[in-house]
Amino acid sequence: MSVWFVTGASRGFGAGIVAEALARGNQLVATARRPEEIERTDRLLPVALDVTDEGQARAAVDAAVREFGRIDVVVNNAGRGLLGAVEEASDSAARAVFDTNVFGVLNVQRAVLPVLRAQRSGRLIQLSSVGGFTGTPGWGLYSATKFAVEGFSEALHGELAPLGIHVTIVEPGLFRTDFLDESSLQQAGEIADYADSVGTMRQSLADWNHAQPGDPVKAARAIVDLAELPDPPLRLQLGGDSVARVEAKLDQVRTELERWRKVSLSTDHDDA
């Protein structure tokens, strides 16, 4: 039995992860902005948490330790979406998505890592996106937040491994959740010059929504499996579309690196 601490636990991936972890006999702290939407049981403690509030993050971690005595698995799942060309997004919209997706994760980490370090054990599972590995028109700022999470998570992987704490970045593709619903996804204002790029992306959303190829129940199983692996990966792609996009990005980077290798190496000092 492990103690799980899951953010954004009231719906989507978060709710699925909570259900799967509970089904395997674990204890859970399920955090959400509206914890009243989550039913309390003897193994499930709902806790209020707006991840942008560092004080609430510390209070949620304290509540978890008081209730269950420890924390074994942390899932940084809470997040928000933003669709629009990079130029189309207002300053307030850009800051809002960074506040939740980047600074919110940092808030939770600062609150929970002292517990894991003291234990010299634990798992940190960071919910990124295939958009955290490869950017596409319309998702630039959302991808930027996930690129940021992947950057500091890679560093955390090296920093925490000697302390017995594993870090895994999860990169889902398109899954059949409510992510594309109006209640979940903010859209930036439209500039006519981006009609052929971002406009096409917007038009396709109606066809994608609730017809995405990924099964969130299967994704939850795969994520909970991570906590049971003795040597989990640094990255795990979920969904065939995620795998295909990562493969294409790796091919593109390798091709470009080889094409421009001579120029890249020409900038070293002669004595290097």
Q: Which residues are catalytic?
A: 128, 142, 146
Query: Which of 32, 34, 35, 40 has its CA nearest to residue 13?
Result: 32
Amino acid occupying residue 18: V
Handedness of CA 205, 208, 212, 216 (dihedral sign): positive
C-alpha 74: how far from chain center: 12
Return all residues near 247 (Cβ < 8 A) that are at least 6 apart.
none
Query: Which of 119, 227, 87 has its CA nearest to residue 168?
Result: 227
Burial 1-35 (b: 16+ CB within 10 A, else e): ebbbbbbbbbbbbbbbbbbbbbeeebbbbbbbbeb
